[in-house]
Amino acid sequence: VSVRKLLHVDCDAYFVQVARLEDPEGAGREELLLVGGSSRSRGVITSASYPCRAYGVRSGMPTAQAVRLCPAAVVVPVPRSACARLHREIRVVLERFSPIVEGASIDEFYMDLTGTELLYRDEALFDTATRIRLAVLEEVRISVSIGGAAVRLVAKLATNRAKPGGVFVVPDGGEAEFMRTLKLADIPGVGPRMQERLQHYGLHTVQQALGYDLDTLSRLFGASWAEWLYDRIRGIDPARIEPHADAKSISRDETFAHDLHDDESLETELLHLVLRAAGDLRGEALRARTITVRIRDADFTTRQASRTLHEPIESDRAIYAVARPLLAKLRKARRTGARLLGVNVSRLTAGQGPTQLSLLGPLDELESERDRTLAHALDRLRARFGHDSVLPGRVVRPQS
DNA sequence: TCTGGGGTCCTAGGACCC
DNA sequence: TCTGGGGTCCTAGGACCC
């Protein structure tokens, strides 16, 4: 059994790089560049150029705060479709080096190069990673950093050591020693809440946590979490690289420039969100059994209500018919200004193939064959004549 | 300083069935 | 008339990631 050879490939300030490629004369010339919520009053920074980070700007920070820290910075919106396109282009390059490529997020990938020894004539993992980095840079014009190790978690953490624009490989057998150099907060999965609990016992570093046996950790943090942490701080992570993970849910949500108070405006927004989510659902040839409506109140409290159906649905009309009463239920429980509304569809199944006959009969039939045919016909119209060619008000009048 | 948008996974409690 | 344990499904909420 050969040692696993895993790589974690992470784009450096991805949204900033993409924004510059898309607009070389504008964003491309700005040293101090921020990507994120510029167009709306309530936005956060998605990505900051490295010179901006020197001013203390971080992604996730409210745009207003970021601009105060770095007043000379230029803020541009997220180039969404270009980010998705370049993600696919990077994947194509990576797949030339190994068929096992997992897209972990819009800007990072995992690769498994185990078993490529013959192909690469026992080339050191560091050298293969360097060639991969250069290939992506030359062909897609995107700079990536690459971490390598025999363990998935360690490969990811090695990337931090490689940034920006380098390669760092942790040798096989050196995982535990590498982990000892880190803080507990560096471990993905140890978020703000868990850090708080750890610090309550004076635990900040991996080295400190290594002094606690499993029983003690279990008493302090619960058995399942303790076992998880006990392994991770020793560089143990059984997770494999999985090339194709099917999506589990699709969601669309929107934070309003100003809080909405009346139910009618919220219903109009809900309809638009349903159209976007349902359109993308059908675009993936999927149907959904569970519909969830999410609302964020003015005080940032987030609530949700969901309903699971016996049969999966896909049409705008049926999904809206399920979502609308869910919104009403949330509004009835608490009637205050809403800053965000969202729609999520989940428990997805392949949409093609014969329609299942419901055992419950016509009473359960939320969606007819006619609904599905109409939805797909409208999809074709929108694809041909543009998204605004079919107005929702004309086609998706809710049946009341 | 006022907090985006798109996701995944886990847990707990209740309903329901055997 | 009063009582069991286990399993599955669903809902709501929360932590976390990029």
| pLDDT category of residue A261 using cuts at 50, 70 and 90 | very high
Compute, in degrees rounded to 10, the torsion defined by CA atoms A71, A74, A75, A80: -150
Q: How far is the CA of A209 from the C1' of B11 (A)?
A: 25
Assess whether pLDDT exceeds 90 at residue A359. Answer: no
**The pLDDT value given to residue A387:** 75
Q: How far is the CA of A343 from the C1' of C9 (A)?
A: 22
Closest nucleotide C1' to the C-alpha of A11: C18
User: d(Cα A189, Cα A381) in Å, to the nearest integer?
Assistant: 44
Strand order in the sheet with A167-169: A101-105, A108-112, A6-11, A144-149, A167-169
Q: What are phi and psi of A312, to 5 degrees?
A: -70, 150
**The pLDDT value given to residue A362:** 47
| pLDDT category of residue A352 using cuts at 50, 70 and 90 | low
Q: How far is the CA of A113 from the C1' of C12 (A)?
A: 41
Q: What percent of chain A has pLDDT over 90?
A: 84
From residue A41, give the alpha-carbon distance in Å to each of A62, A170, A255, A364, A388: 10, 44, 10, 43, 25
| pLDDT category of residue A360 using cuts at 50, 70 and 90 | very low
* pTM exceeding 0.85: yes
Tell me chain A's radius of gyration from C-alpha atoms.
Answer: 24
pLDDT single digits (tens) A100-134? 999 999 999 999 999 877 677 789 999 999 999 99
Percentage helix, strand, coil for chain A under 3-state DSSP, each rounded to 5: 45, 20, 35
Active-site residue flag, A365? no
Considering only CA atoms, which residue is closest to the C1' of nucleotide C11? Answer: A306
Assess whether pLDDT exceeds 70 at residue A55. Answer: yes
> Are β-strands A33-36 and A74-76 bridged in parallel, bridged antiparallel, or unpaired?
parallel
**The pLDDT value given to residue A330:** 97
Assess whether pLDDT exceeds 80 at residue A275. Answer: yes
Looking at every residue in chain A, the average pLDDT score rounds to 92
**The pLDDT value given to residue A130:** 98
**The pLDDT value given to residue A163:** 95
Considering only CA atoms, which residue is closest to the C1' of nucleotide B3? Answer: A62
Assess whether pLDDT exceeds 80 at residue A88. Answer: yes
Compute, in degrees rounded to 10, the torsion defined by CA atoms A333, A334, A339, A345: 0
**The pLDDT value given to residue A74:** 94
Q: Which residue has the tokens 């950093």?
A: A145
Residue type, A145: S
Q: How far is the CA of A224 from the C1' of C2 (A)?
A: 37
Q: How far is the CA of A306 from the C1' of C9 (A)?
A: 14
Assess whether pLDDT exceeds 60 at residue A363. Answer: no
Closest nucleotide C1' to the C-alpha of A189: C16
User: d(Cα A370, Cα A353) in Å, to the nearest integer?
Assistant: 16
Q: How far is the CA of A329 from the C1' of C7 (A)?
A: 31
Q: What are phi and psi of A399, to 5 degrees?
A: -80, 120
Considering only CA atoms, which residue is closest to the C1' of nucleotide C10? Answer: A308
Q: Which nucleotides of B are covered by protein (CB under 7 A)?
A: 1-11
**The pLDDT value given to residue A321:** 97
From residue A327, give the alpha-carbon distance in Å to each of A25, A46, A59, A320, A394: 45, 29, 31, 10, 22
Q: Would you give the DSSP letter of residue A388?
A: G
Closest nucleotide C1' to the C-alpha of A37: B4
First to last CA, chain A: 64
Q: Would you give the DSSP letter of residue A240?
A: P
User: d(Cα A164, Cα A154) in Å, to the nearest integer?
Assistant: 17
User: d(Cα A50, Cα A19) in Å, to the nearest integer?
Assistant: 14
Q: Which nucleotides of C are covered by protein (CB under 7 A)?
A: 9-18
More confident residue, A1 or A351: A351
Please identify which of the residues A102, A108, A175, A269 carries the catalytic annotation.
A108
pLDDT single digits (tens) A208-256? 999 999 999 999 999 899 999 999 999 999 999 998 888 999 999 999 9
Beta-sheet strands, E only, within chain A: 6-11, 33-36, 45-48, 74-76, 101-105, 108-112, 144-149, 167-169, 249-260, 286-297, 302-313, 338-350
Residue type, A346: S
**CB < 7 A contacts with chain B (nucleic strand):** A 37, 41-44, 46, 59-60, 62, 64-65, 68, 105, 224, 247-255, 280, 299-300, 339-340, 342, 346
Assess whether pLDDT exceeds 60 at residue A314. Answer: yes
**CB < 7 A contacts with chain C (nucleic strand):** A 60, 104-108, 156, 187-195, 289-290, 292, 302-308, 347
Closest nucleotide C1' to the C-alpha of A294: C12
pLDDT single digits (tens) A131-166? 999 999 999 999 999 999 999 999 999 999 999 999
Q: How far is the CA of A222 from the C1' of B12 (A)?
A: 15
Considering only CA atoms, which residue is closest to the C1' of nucleotide B11? Answer: A224
